[in-house]
Amino acid sequence: MRFKPGDAIDSDHCTALQHEFLRCQDAFRDFETSATIMILEGENRLLAYKTYNAYSRFVHHLYEFLIAARARDIGDTSPLRADQAERFIAGAAQRILTRKRKAIQNGTAPSWENHISYYPEEIPLDFSKEFRLFRNKAYGHATHERAKLNSSTFYEKNHKYLYMLYRDCLDWWGLRGGEFPDLKEITEFSVVIKKTRPGVENQLDNAG
């Protein structure tokens, strides 16, 4: 479906985008908490399970957010082929990587930034494909392939690029303090039964 900036579909799409990124942010915070406990207290199956779940949620929501952001850029919600999604994500990651390296080289990077040796000149050729496949197998689809998916290797190889993508979106789409955003029906959700005013039902019955 095609839409234009500022129309009703665009407004709803932006709500979905913010919701998706907040889910990504929640998942990353959960991952940070579990990973910190793992480092400080040691590993066990339950902790590995919780850390894996949080990280796979982070990957999933980051992927979904990026694809939805691309849809807004072009004003079209039509589904992407796998190769189109991979090219978009690879291009976005490479632009951020190049920008980081230039900032380090010209001295404008923040003091806490990593040394330039941490960032190669180009992202791995298979990064975006591995990102998509990990998202599919670790969280998106329940498949036998999940049992043999080496998430530790994926993390070691690709996390720096995922984190770059995440941080690049955080300032604009993440929580920035203050009142929680209005996400329309998402933040209207309630399990509390809404009761009518006393006497209204009787009035309606009598009117019949």
- Could you report the per-residue pLDDT of 13-37, keeping only the tens digit for each? 999 999 999 999 999 999 999 999 9
pLDDT on residue 205: 54
The answer to whether position 91 is within a domain reads yes
The answer to whether position 19 is within a domain reads yes
For residues 93 and 165, the answer to whether their CB atoms sit within 8 Å is: yes
The answer to whether position 137 is within a domain reads yes
pLDDT on residue 196: 64
The answer to whether position 173 is within a domain reads yes
The answer to whether position 195 is within a domain reads yes
In the chain, the amino acid numbered 96 is I
Q: How many structural domains are present in the chain?
A: 1
pLDDT on residue 34: 97
The answer to whether position 44 is within a domain reads yes
Residue 92 region, left (φ>0) first, then alpha (ψ -120 to 50), else beta?
alpha
The answer to whether position 81 is within a domain reads yes
The answer to whether position 62 is within a domain reads yes
pLDDT on residue 200: 52
Local confidence band at 194 (pLDDT 50, 70, 90 cut-offs): confident
Residue 202: domain span? 8-207
pLDDT at residue 204 is higher than 80: no
Closest CA to 130 of 156, 110, 111: 156
pLDDT on residue 176: 79
pLDDT tens for 32-89 read 999 999 999 999 999 999 999 999 999 999 999 999 999 999 999 999 999 999 999 9
pLDDT tens for 99-120 read 999 999 999 999 999 999 999 9
Which distant-in-sequence residues (6+ apart) come within 8 Å of 25 by Cβ? 170, 174, 175
Closest CA to 110 of 177, 171, 157: 171
